[in-house]
Amino acid sequence: MSDPATVAPPKIVESVGVVLANDAYAGGQYILRLQAPEIAARAVPGSFVHLRCAPELPLRRPLSIMLRDQTKGWIDILYKVVGRGTAALAERQVGQQLPLLGPIGNGFSPAPRGSRPVLIGGGVGMPPMLLLASELRREPHFRPVLFLGSEVPFPFAPKPSEFMLDGLPPGVLATMPLLDDWGIPARLASGQGFAGCFDGLVTDLARAWLAQLDETARQSVHLYACGPTPMLRAVAELARGFDLPCQVSLEEHMACAIGGCAGCVVQVATPTGPAMKRVCVDGPVFDASTVF
């Protein structure tokens, strides 16, 4: 079995990002916009940065790139306050400087021409899916579909989608406005009863849509996912059930993020038996079937 993560990563840059925005959203979520032109230029979908959240916390934190503007030189990062690092990051003000390393990691391997990418993101796992969608939209033949889930209010104002998706329960119409602007059909899921969202797990939402496809259409689907481990496990099951290729982006506690310390490993199946792979540079994207 070949490792799907075969996109040769660019060199990692040690740079200083300037905070352009650090906006709070419900549920302890923030979107950080950093001026970091070299990283914006080199990032690929799946890339992350290793960010020093505050001077007093010298160990950096790995955070996925959600959007980037190569012309203006900024990157957007979605994070949720879960510990000391992200709490300190939430305190950063516009104009402050943050040392960061990036872009790091192997990106998603490109979907073959004629395939139908289906992207599933959960919570702060949404960012790599959005960066991937932003790249896929440049090649209209892909016709990607996104399913996003969150148990806290989404960090954007959902609106009814202009695009139809078959097989979903009535009233499941909410999408992320940006995706509509990009011409990409998407739907949202939550167990919190948010208006227009699928009431349940994002993986059940994806399953409902996949199930109504005819066999030929379904066999062209390639799954991509990032989110909490239980969600990724469910996506891997979904892929197994429908016999679809599936790439997942993982996270783990990291020290160096350069491949030096082997602190961030995940156990993967290889032809020669189990192996410990580093999430930072062997991943963060892995073939789901080798991990789950």
Partner 1 sequence: MGSEGLELKIEFCGLGFNSPLVLLSGCVGFGNEYTRVEGFSHRDVGAVCLKGTTLEPRLGNPPHRIAETEGGMLNAIGLQNPGVDHVVSEILPGLDFSETRFIANVSGSTVEEYQEVTRRFDDSPIDAMELNISCPNVKEGGVAFGNDPEMSARVVEACRGVTRKPLITKLSPNQTDIAENARRCIEAGSDALAVINTLMGMAVDIESRQPVIGNNQGGLSGPAIKPVALLKVHQVYQVAKRHGIPIIGQGGVTSAEDALEFLIAGASAVGLGTGLFYDPLAPARINLGIMEYLQRHQLGTLAELTGSLRLHQ
Crossing angle of helices 202-212 and 229-242, in 10° steps, is: 10
Near partner 1 by CB under 8 A: residue from 281, 285, 288, 291 = 281
Near partner 1 by CB under 8 A: residue from 9, 27, 196, 228 = 9
Quote the CA–CA distance of 11 and 19 in Å, as a whole number: 23
Interior/surface letters 77-90, b for 16+ CB within 10 angstroms, e for the rest: bbbbbeeebbebbb
If one asks whether residue 271 binds partner 1 (CB under 8 A), the answer comes out as no
Near partner 1 by CB under 8 A: residue from 87, 168, 255, 269 = 255
Task: Scan residues 86-145 and list those touching partner 1 (CB under 8 A).
Answer: 99, 101
- Strands 186-190 and 174-175 come out as unpaired
Contact region with partner 1 (CB under 8 A), list: 12-20, 26-34, 120-128, 219-227? 12-20
- Strands 116-122 and 145-149 come out as parallel
In the complex, what is the shortest distance from the CB of residue 155 to partner 1, in angstroms, rounded to a whole number? 25
Return left, alpha or beta for 168; rule: phi > 0 is left, psi -120 to 50 is alpha, else beta. Answer: beta
If one asks whether residue 264 binds partner 1 (CB under 8 A), the answer comes out as yes
Angle among Cα 41, 47, 49 to the nearest 5 degrees reads 85
Near partner 1 by CB under 8 A: residue from 18, 41, 59, 81 = 59
* Residue 103 vs 155, nearer CB to partner 1: 103
Tokens of 275: 């192996």
Contact region with partner 1 (CB under 8 A), list: 74-82, 89-97, 131-139, 265-273? 265-273
Which residues contribute to the site for partner 1 (CB under 8 A)? 9, 11-14, 57-60, 84-85, 99, 101, 252-256, 258-267, 274-276, 281
